[in-house]
Structure formats: C-alpha cells, structure tokens
Amino acid sequence: MAKKIGIQTLAEGVETEEQFEFLRSIGCEKVQGYLFGKPLPFQESIDNIIGKGLKIASLDWQQYYAMRLAALM
C-alpha cells in the first residue's frame, strides 16, 4: 500500500539476516536495527556510516521532525 501512494518504508528492530532478507524481498527500502549496529550518538553514527561507505539519508527531514517533537512537548 505504501508504494502505491509513494511512501518509502522503514523497518526498525532488524536483528537477523532472515528478517533483513524478508524485508528486502517485499520491497522495504530502509532498515535499521542491531544487525547493522548498536545505537550510537549522532556524530558517531554519521562517522560509522561514512566509514563503511554507506549512503546517508537526506537530513532535509531533520527540521520537520524537530518541529513535530517541539509541538508534542
């Protein structure tokens, strides 16, 4: 359904290769979880991603989420 309306999907809590392969097989574009690394402070996360040669998702949404979080408080 998400693809039909142009929304990318993100799966959280991916811990096994089996979960990762299943999510890829159904077209999930983004995943995160312990399979890829433990939680890190922001800058360490960025350094880790760059060090592995991975792409960093756009930070354009950072302001949006900051505003949403501020509205909830």
Q: What is the pLDDT of residue 59?
A: 65
Residues 6+ apart with CB under 8 A from 8: 2, 29, 30
Could you tell me the CA-to-CA distances from 25 to 19, 21, 31, 34, 53 in Å, in that order? 10, 6, 13, 19, 23
In angstroms, rounded to a whole number, what is the distance separating the alpha carbons of residues 67 and 73?
Answer: 10
Contact, 39 vs 13, CB < 8 A? Answer: no
Task: Write the pLDDT tens digit of every residue in 2-24.
Answer: 777 778 889 999 999 999 999 99
Question: What does the chain come to in residues?
Answer: 73
pLDDT at residue 71 tops 70:
yes
